[in-house]
Amino acid sequence: MKLFAVAALLTLTAAPALAQTAPAAPVAPTPPAATTPGAAKLSIDSPIEALVADPAAKAVLEGVIPGLPAHPAYDQFKAMSLTQVQPYSGGAVTDEMIKKITDGLAAIK
């Protein structure tokens, strides 16, 4: 019985020691992404709020989908891209609209 108790005690005390790992090496912080409009090439895969923040891209959006930033659910979908929103739009965002916006964004210099 003593042997069983000693074996159980050793098992219980060794398990936490084996579960410990060395502390993870500190990770260098990543630099923040550029936030200036036009810093990166905008596309239909960019977040909608990034398109609205850029005056030229906003003009393209407003030309195809008037009043998009004033939509009642804008805060819910502004972090999504147009390609992500399209399936949930119930047909309000068509392939033709996506093509027009793509062409308009490509024309921005």
Ramachandran sector of residue 107 (left: φ over 0; alpha: ψ -120 to 50; beta: rest) = alpha
Q: Cα separation of 73 and 65, whole Å? A: 14
Task: Please state, in angstroms and as integers, the Cα–Cα distance from residue 63 to each residue in 26, 56, 66, 88, 105, following that order.
Answer: 48, 11, 6, 21, 12
pLDDT at 109 (0 to 100)? 77
**Mean pLDDT for back-to-back runs of 10 residues, the chain (109 residues):** 56 55 61 51 94 96 94 94 93 94 92
pLDDT at 30 (0 to 100)? 55
> CB of 55 within 8 A of CB of 37?
yes
* Cβ neighbours of 54 (radius 10 Å): 20
